[in-house]
């Protein structure tokens, strides 16, 4: 194992709570909900059982130039916006042919997505059948391919050390960060722009999740629909958005006097090899991921003061994770579940929640879990509800788990 | 039938819509690729919109010959119904 330390020097996000990290964090701290009733013709026409979603607070077309926006799928738009924010937040200037703050050959991208651009695929398919081939956009393939978001970020930032786009469902964003860490540790890059993105709110994704009985149908009260760890939870709420961090070699960051939010001290990635949607009943993969992260960071369970849970607000999933946290770490960590406010950003979730975890370390406060009013007695954890919790932390874990049995735990410690 | 000035103006509208080039910059002597920085994907979109707007057919082998805005204007002028 290499001894290269990796720190976070920049963060960007656009989410249902706000168009940047500050407004998203403020939303978590002030108990705002990003979940709304969906306003589209098909909501009524199709009569789907789910009519709510966590849509973006700021439309990406308000941020990006019109011509650039029309060449990008929505999941690519939000990834580019978050990446540019993170880049600027790290203190870097725009990369041009004449000037680069990071040598392109030492700059990588690792940015995952759950499903890429299915909305482009479906809309272009409709054009093909209704108006013929000549109306199909020549940009169809680059807009639907799941490596598109990462590739566009690499072009924008002139990153030539390699581009990766992990597809591990709801763990994609966390896996993006873990893989970025690995790119630096292995010596392939000095700086990696890493995270995840998703924008797939569409009748077929909602319909598919509804048929799998995994989404909340609390249509009459959208703001209360996502309630992780609460006894009355009835499923997750599909959201959209992106989170991106700048990972940097610690010695490089210190040498340039960068602001360091936190150190990424370790990660664990495991797989359940059990069921395509359900987590292992004994939580073996989740437990192993958290333990692997602690082993890599050379920390013990007693060091972990905070867990930012994956907890999506499904009946089975939340209980499984709670048991896994108790086994891997214990019942002492202060736990929060940001999906109560954010909804489930799928491929963006792990990255946005990783950012929230970093901010909890950095600011010394853990946001309350929105809508947690009646803790499920099976949880048996210190889940923050009602009031935010002020706490000095020495280490925190962010969990992300995905359909397919993907488990990723990211472990952050304060900047030394 | 539209005269060349009208075709140029119509083409400039399309180029602005697809590629974001200001209409005033779309002049006859400009090369789509070298001067206006338009890529092959955008050229396909521009051709399809020009076909609709001017009632012409622009087959791929003809499109390849339309290097400048002026080439496109002349092609439309000669082939429009």
Return the active site residues of A: 170, 310, 344
Note the pLDDT tens digit of each residue in A303-343: 999 999 999 999 999 999 999 999 999 999 999 999 999 99
Predicted TM-score (pTM) of the model is: 0.96
Report, as an integer, the average pLDDT of A363-378: 98
Which helix (H) or strand (E) segment holds residue A397: the answer is strand A396-402
Residues of A near B (Cβ–Cβ under 8 Å) read 65-68, 71, 134-135, 137-139, 142
Closest CA to A104 of A181, A162, A164, A185: A162
CA distance B5 to chain A (A): 25
Report, as an integer, the average pLDDT of A48-70: 97
Report, as an integer, the average pLDDT of A28-45: 94
Closest CA to A112 of A153, A180, A170, A165: A165
pLDDT at position A43, please?
87
Note the pLDDT tens digit of each residue in A124-160: 999 999 999 999 999 999 999 999 999 999 999 999 9
- Phi, psi dihedrals of residue B46, rounded to the nearest 5°: -65, -40
CA distance B65 to chain A (A): 19
Q: Which residues of B fall within a CB distance of 8 Å from A139?
A: 41
pLDDT at position B76, please?
96
Interface membership of B38 toward A (CB under 8 Å): no
The answer to whether the Cβ–Cβ distance between A66 and B48 falls below 8 Å is no
pLDDT at position B1, please?
54
CA distance A111 to chain B (A): 25
The answer to whether the Cβ–Cβ distance between B44 and A138 falls below 8 Å is yes
| Domains (range + CATH), chain B | 4-79 (1.10.1200.10)
pLDDT at position A1, please?
56
Residue of B nearest to A142 (CA): B41
- The 8 Å CB, 24+ separation contacts for A382-388 are A382/A331, A382/A332, A382/A333, A382/A334, A382/A335, A383/A229, A383/A309, A383/A335, A383/A336, A383/A337, A384/A334, A384/A335, A384/A336, A388/A29
Q: Is the pLDDT of residue B81 over 90?
A: no
Closest CA to A147 of A56, A69, A204, A73: A73
> ipTM of this model?
0.89
Note the pLDDT tens digit of each residue in B5-55: 999 999 999 999 999 999 999 999 999 999 999 999 999 999 999 999 999
B20: nearest CB among A65, A139, A142: A65
pLDDT at position B61, please?
94
Bridge partners, residue A163, by sequence: A109
pLDDT at position A363, please?
97
* CA pair distance A150, A34, nearest whole angstrom: 25
| Sequence-distant (≥ 6) Cβ neighbours of residue A86 within 8 angstroms | A10, A11, A12, A193, A195, A244, A245, A246
The share of chain A scoring above pLDDT 70, in percent, equals 100
B interface test, pick of A64, A65, A67 with most B CB neighbours within 10 Å: A67
Rg (CA), chain A: 20
């Amino acid at each position: 194992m290499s001894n290269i330390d990796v720190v976070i020097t920049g963060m960007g996000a656009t989410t249902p709570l706000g168009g940047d990290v500050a407004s998203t964090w403020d939303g978590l701290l002030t108990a705002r909900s990003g979940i709304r009733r969906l306003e589209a013709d098909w909501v009524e026409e199709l009569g789907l059982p789910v009519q709510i979603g966590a849509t973006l607070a700021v439309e990406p077309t308000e941020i990006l130039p019109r011509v650039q926006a029309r060449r990008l799928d929505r999941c690519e738009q939000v990834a580019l916006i978050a990446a540019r924010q993170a880049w600027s937040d790290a203190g870097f200037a725009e990369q041009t042919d004449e000037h680069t703050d990071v040598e392109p050959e030492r700059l990588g991208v690792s940015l995952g997505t759950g499903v890429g651009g299915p909305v482009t695929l479906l809309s272009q398919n409709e054009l093909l059948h209704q108006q013929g081939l000549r109306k199909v956009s020549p940009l169809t393939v680059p807009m639907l391919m799941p490596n598109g978001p990462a590739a566009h970020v690499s072009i924008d930032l002139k990153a030539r050390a390699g581009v990766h786009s992990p597809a591990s469902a709801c763990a994609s964003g966390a896996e993006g960060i873990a893989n970025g860490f690995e790119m630096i540790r292995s010596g392939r890059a000095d700086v990696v722009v890493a995270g995840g993105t998703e924008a797939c709110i569409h009748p077929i994704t909602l319909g598919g999740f509804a048929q799998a009985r995994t989404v909340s149908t609390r249509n009459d009260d959208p703001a209360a629909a996502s309630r992780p760890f609460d006894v009355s939870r009835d499923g997750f709420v599909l959201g959209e958005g992106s989170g991106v961090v700048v990972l940097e070699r610690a010695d490089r960051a210190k040498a340039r006097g960068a602001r360091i939010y936190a150190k990424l001290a370790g990660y664990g990635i495991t797989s359940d090899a059990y069921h395509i949607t359900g987590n292992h009943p004994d939580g073996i993969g989740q437990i192993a991921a958290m333990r692997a992260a602690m082993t890599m960071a050379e920390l013990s369970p007693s060091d972990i003061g905070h867990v930012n849970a994956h907890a999506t607000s499904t009946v089975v999933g939340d209980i499984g994770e709670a048991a896994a946290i108790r086994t891997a770490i214990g019942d002492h960590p202060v736990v929060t579940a940001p999906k109560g406010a954010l909804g489930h950003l799928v491929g963006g979730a792990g990255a946005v929640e990783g950012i929230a975890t970093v901010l909890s370390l950095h600011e010394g406060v853990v946001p309350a879990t929105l809508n947690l009013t009646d803790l499920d007695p099976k949880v048996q954890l210190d889940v923050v509800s009602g009031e935010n919790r002020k706490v000095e932390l020495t280490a925190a874990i962010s969990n992300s788990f995905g359909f397919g049995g993907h488990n990723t735990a990211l472990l952050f410690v304060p900047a030394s | 039938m539209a005269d060349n000035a009208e075709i140029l103006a119509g083409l400039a509208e399309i180029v602005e819509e697809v590629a974001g080039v200001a209409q005033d910059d779309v002049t006859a002597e400009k090369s789509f690729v070298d001067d206006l920085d338009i890529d092959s994907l955008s050229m396909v979109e521009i051709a399809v919109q020009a076909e609709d707007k001017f009632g012409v057919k622009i087959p791929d082998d003809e499109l390849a010959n339309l290097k400048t805005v002026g080439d496109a204007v002349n092609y439309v002028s000669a082939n429009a119904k």
